[in-house]
Amino acid sequence: MLVIQMVAGTFTGSVIYSHAIPALMGFLSMILICNGVMDDNRDQVLAGVGIFFAAGLLPFIILPFILGI
């Protein structure tokens, strides 16, 4: 029973870090980029681009620690 709980916890954590958080960060970055371009605010555009790249790299950085690879 303990093994099933550990697998379920690892699976849930991996899905959150590989699918949910990057999607939310990508959505937020698109809003920042669009808003920054329309308002001529370079700081918002750069923040949006940074968050977008972080969303793309997040699974490759965090998942090996969660999965124990």
Q: What is the pLDDT of residues 10-67, one digit of tens each?
A: 566 677 777 888 999 999 999 999 999 999 999 999 999 999 999 999 888 887 777 7
More confident residue, 20 or 9: 20
pLDDT higher than threshold 80 for residue 4: no
- Domains held by the chain: number: 1
What is the chain's length?
Answer: 69
Residue 4, domain member (yes or no): no
C-alpha–C-alpha distance, residues 43 and 45, integer Å: 5
What's phi and psi for 40, nearest 5 deg?
A: 55, 45
Residue type, 20: A
Residue 63, domain member (yes or no): yes
As to burial, measured by CB atoms within 10 angstroms (0-12 exposed, 13-18 middle, 19+ buried), residue 61 is exposed
For residue 56, the enclosing domain spans: 16-67
User: Of 15, 11, 65, whose CA–CA distance to 3 is shortest?
Assistant: 11
Residue 10, domain member (yes or no): no
Residue 52, domain member (yes or no): yes
